[in-house]
Amino acid sequence: MIGIISAMQEEIQALLNELKNVTTTEKGMRTYYSGKLFNKKVVLVFSRWGKVASAATTTQLINDFNVEEIIFTGVAGAINKDLNIGDVVIGKNLFQHDLNASPFYKKFEIPILKKEFLETKNSQKIINSTNLFIDSYNKYIKDSEAAVFNITAPKIVFGDIASGDQFISSIKKIKKLNKALPTAICVEMEGAAVAQICYEYNIPFSIIRIISDKANDNATIDFSRFANTIASNYALGILKNYFA
């Protein structure tokens, strides 16, 4: 069984539409959708935004559904100038950019675990699957929808991700993140929390982030539309290849 998480249902709606033999379980104000996706047993759930919500969802997923792997998919804001809307970031190392237990621990270091970041697993397989998706991009993404968000030549980047309980929407905050975590290329609100739970339970974890904005003063896109028409179909195409 593979667990698939997103922060918003819109980000995995295309996957839910393809799910077969569906059963649902209600726990902790969340709905867990179990079934077969491209002939693989999976359970899908949207966690809601933030580190606490995603950590709680991941823990429930591991304890109640006997998952052997977890994949997180969703949108993120770029904090690297080379990333554009529609690009895909496959996570390498996950940092909690708002974690600071100094002077007892170094900044960003997770107490007790003594790790400043957590590494993902199965990254090469996700990268290969994303490359295949890009090769058949127009099979999943309509030209008219790509044009709405000025997506022209999406690319894949394997890089570090910063997570924190805040929506980054200013150049000033981006500059602070760039200085504090120079290897991080995008920012979101869940990934590092999910990575920590997976690490503690020894569950392989990987993450797919689709760039929806530049996390700056112009981060005002229609997130619901982007999640529904772009991010959800990215997840569909990438995971169809991943499960092949």
Residues identified as active-site = 11, 213
Give the integer Cα–Cα distance in Å for 136 and 25.
34
Q: Report the chain's terminal Cα–Cα distance, integer Å.
A: 15
d(CA 108, CA 144): 42
Alpha helices in 69-187 (DSSP H): 123-135, 137-140, 143-148, 171-180
CA dihedral of residues 5, 161, 163, 27 (deg, nearest 10): 10
Which residues, in sequence order, are CB contacts of 83 under 8 Å at separation 6+? 89, 157, 185, 186, 211, 214
In one-letter notation, the amino acid at residue 43 is V
Q: How far apart are CA 208 and CA 91, in angstroms?
A: 6
| Phi and psi torsions of 180, nearest 5° | -75, -40
Spatial CA neighbour of 57 closest among 131, 6, 123: 6
